Structure 1
Amino acid sequence: MGKFLLSCKMAIQSIFLNRLRSFLTLLGVVIGVGAVVAAVGLAEGTTASITKEIENLGTNVVYVFIRPASKSEDISIDKFLDFARKNSDVILGVSPFIQYPGEALFKSKKEECQIVGATSEYMMVQGLSLSKGRFISPVDDDFRQKVAVIGSRIQSKLFGKQNPIGQEINVNGQVFKVIGVLKEKQGGRDNTVDDSIIVPVFVVNSLSAGEMALLKNFLVRTVSPDKNKEAKKRIKEFVSKFVKKEDNYSIYDMSELMSMLNRVTYFLMIILGGIATISLVVGGIGIMNIMLVSVTERTREIGIRKAVGAKRSDIRVQFLIESMVITGVGGIIGILLGFVVIAVGISRIPGVEPVYSLKWALVAFGISVLIGIVFGMLPAEKAARLNPIEALRYE
């Protein structure tokens, strides 16, 4: 133990004698470990955010996406609602919706938006809330009223500080009366609910053109999560009567969405981890080169140590410890750098939660130390095998 501590002390002294070289040597490890920590934080943060959004909808929700090949395969909303009523033993409620890009105008202001055709149940199923006004009512559905509920971003861009309730806006050439404003949900970003204008689904076809009017999406809330499988089975039987190709419709529940999300996250982490690993290997090669230079520079010192009784193992351990200390310190700095990137950069990305994974930080640190052992082995072995007489003569 005493020899090991002495070797550690000598290794640290050697590192501090060459501060600049030591810093440049560990820079590759710092970047590699920092990249690992930040990449994992980005992947896990994105997953956590999406998972929260999915969980907010509940586990007893089935998604149905239909894209008919022609008008003959079109499933009207009334037909689907009638199907849902006949299967009330497994289906609690349905919220049909149609979504596509559009353009909204108010006086001289124009803004790109997402037009969503929905019913009064859409707010409950999607977990939305209002900052002012009201949502679409069953009366609006029944009488095809041209009313609209706008997202927070649309309010900000078109109306500023002006109260939008009761104002009329032009949406794809049709005039709608604003009856409500949604609370900001996704950081006021484009292509989100904050960027949406929600209108009654039964009047939305007059706003769309061509095949866009045929698109149908349904959120189906089942009686309980254990009824999801049976509900999907019945929905598939119903939809397949109209839409012949399975490629033209999709039916998912929460478990399938979570499974797909986990697969995407897994592959994302593999890709990001591979990039970070390459950086660590490059850093390891740099360490090996610097350590080989260090062995050459300290040839006479090694000869003196061997002359006074140092064994090969003592020399080998000393150089390995130096390499491990460099990569270990680089690993610690890299972890801190990764956490800073998560706190300062990744946490500011809309829709991404800051996640600090201690497990992956420790894994990255362990890999950095392992890099030090692997790439420090050759220089350490070269130093240990030096002939003491030749080493003493070295100038």
Structure 2
Amino acid sequence: MELLENIREALRSIRSNWLRTILTGMIIAIGITSLVGMLTAIDAMKAQIVESFSGLGANNFDVRTKNTSGGRVTQDGVKEKTFPPVDFREALAFKEAYGSRGQSTVFTRVSGSAEVKRGSVITDPNVRITGVDEDYLLIKGLDINQGRNFSNVEVQYGNNVCIIGSELVETLFGENEKAVADYISFAGNRYTIVGVLEEQGAVGNDSGADRTILIPVENASRLDQTGGFRYTITLSSADPAKLDYEMGQATGLMRKVRQDRVGEEDSFEVIKSNTVGESLEEVAGYLRIGGFGIGFITLLGASVGLMNIMLVSVTERTREIGVRKALGATPKRIRQQFLIEAIVICVLGGLFGVMLGLGIGNIVASLVGPGGFLVPWLWVIMAFIVCIVVGLVSGVIPAIKASKLDPIEALRYE
């Protein structure tokens, strides 16, 4: 009952000084707005970027030949076990077995330093040739700028057709020449161009994505004279939350295809293709730390301002405190009244700051790209906890000062 009475008294004091309460609350609201606004914007932008990257392999994983170093010797003096590469037959058998569960694509690297000819024009020996199937473009997030994708028949029979990158079009064709339906030669064979990839741009000094040629994977297997091609299967998970489960299912299927015995280690590896998501999360973490630091400094300034206003309030209400003490109020009740008053002001200011911060954060995030309205409940709850802590810290010194006033001297105060 004593606590409820102090709360009612604090609210009566707040109602009697609306202007002071609003100005004090605005100090806290600005600090909370900066804190919640920045953290909301960071989380909203991260969610939008992750959604954009989901089609670029962020939710994919690879089943591929186990990485080895040619039988290197380990620290214990035991030679590392090597495994045969995943061959074309095994890759196709796995894709067929996994077909009932989801999408997958089989591909292999044919060459990373091929020369391409068209008439008398020859490229530098830096063209990448990759054998792919009809699902490769979809799973890898690549788009066709001109022409079309491979058909099922072309992939099945390994026709001499290809899809080339934008840089090769600029190198091999004139300004007014069309690449689609024309011919180029490499690896001793002539291929018909059926499509041109959209420009991917350069990552650092690497523009290999625009300097690549895609051919049917069946056709690529015929170019493997030594049986050294390593085939990779990329699988796409529709639900990122079930990615680990799908990786486990893929491991079981591939062990069956490779006929790995029970108790033996896997003769292949399953690798998660989420380096983009991990890098993004790391950057977002640093941004959150920076945002929280800036918001904390703002709130620190707000708490100093609130403490100053509460000290002024104690001075203004010296006679009131003297009357309350003369009527029997204990120092404890006086302290509680001023602490509760400071906390209530902080919570009211925090409520306004949270609403303003959510709005500003989502508006800033919408400038990055369209997305839904995000409410980061963790930061909202943390903001209210911070408000209570700021109220306690800011109100404790004024509350102690008020509780120590001498009632006789307080009643004399003008």
Cα distance in 2 for partners of 1:234, 1:143 equals 26
Report the AA paired with residue 33 of structure 2: V
Higher deviation after alignment, 37-46 or 306-315: 306-315
Aligned match for 1:235, one of 254, 258, 269: 254
Aligned match for 2:215, one of 182, 185, 199: 199
Aligned match for 2:15, one of 9, 12, 25: 9
Aligned match for 1:356, one of 348, 373, 379: 373
Q: Partner residue of 1:384?
A: 399
Report the AA paired with residue 9 of structure 1: R
Q: Partner residue of 2:342?
A: 319
| Deviation string, structure 1 residues 72-121 (Cα, Å, up to 9, x no partner) | 83333245436767x699799974213697899998999x9975420345
Q: Partner residue of 1:34?
A: 37
Cα distance in 1 for partners of 2:107, 2:23 equals 69
Report the AA paired with residue 323 of structure 1: C
| Deviation string, structure 1 residues 327-355 (Cα, Å, up to 9, x no partner) | 3333222222211221113x2xxxxx734
Kept in 2, the 8 Å contact 1:30–1:330? The answer is yes
Kept in 1, the 8 Å contact 2:160–2:190? The answer is no
- What SS does the corresponding residue of 2:181 show, helix, strand or coil? coil
Q: Partner residue of 1:76?
A: 87
Q: Partner residue of 2:300?
A: 285
Cα distance in 1 for partners of 2:163, 2:12 equals 76
Q: Partner residue of 1:251?
A: 270
Higher deviation after alignment, 100-109 or 140-149: 100-109
TM-score scaled to structure 1, two decimals? 0.63
Cα distance in 1 for partners of 2:48, 2:161 equals 40
Kept in 2, the 8 Å contact 1:119–1:200? The answer is yes
Gaps of 5+ in 2: 1-6, 71-81, 237-241
The number of residue pairs the alignment matches comes to 362
Tell me how large the CA RMSD over aligned residues is.
5.7
Q: CA deviation at 1:263?
A: 9.2
Residue identity (%) = 15
Cα distance in 2 for partners of 1:163, 1:84 equals 35
Aligned match for 1:332, one of 334, 355, 358: 355
Q: CA deviation at 1:380?
A: 2.0
| Deviation string, structure 1 residues 239-262 (Cα, Å, up to 9, x no partner) | 476xxx96883237xxx889x999
- What SS does the corresponding residue of 1:73 show, helix, strand or coil? coil
Gaps of 5+ in 1: 348-352
Q: Partner residue of 1:350?
A: none
Kept in 2, the 8 Å contact 1:287–1:372? The answer is no
Q: Partner residue of 1:96?
A: 106
Q: CA deviation at 1:309?
A: 4.2
Q: Partner residue of 1:166?
A: 181
Kept in 2, the 8 Å contact 1:144–1:200? The answer is yes
Q: CA deviation at 1:179?
A: 0.9
TM-score scaled to structure 2, two decimals? 0.61
Q: CA deviation at 1:63?
A: 4.2
Q: CA deviation at 1:382?
A: 2.6
Higher deviation after alignment, 40-49 or 228-237: 228-237
Higher deviation after alignment, 275-284 or 263-272: 263-272
Query: Structure 1 residue 374 and structure 2 residue 374: aligned?
Result: no
Q: Partner residue of 2:63?
A: 64
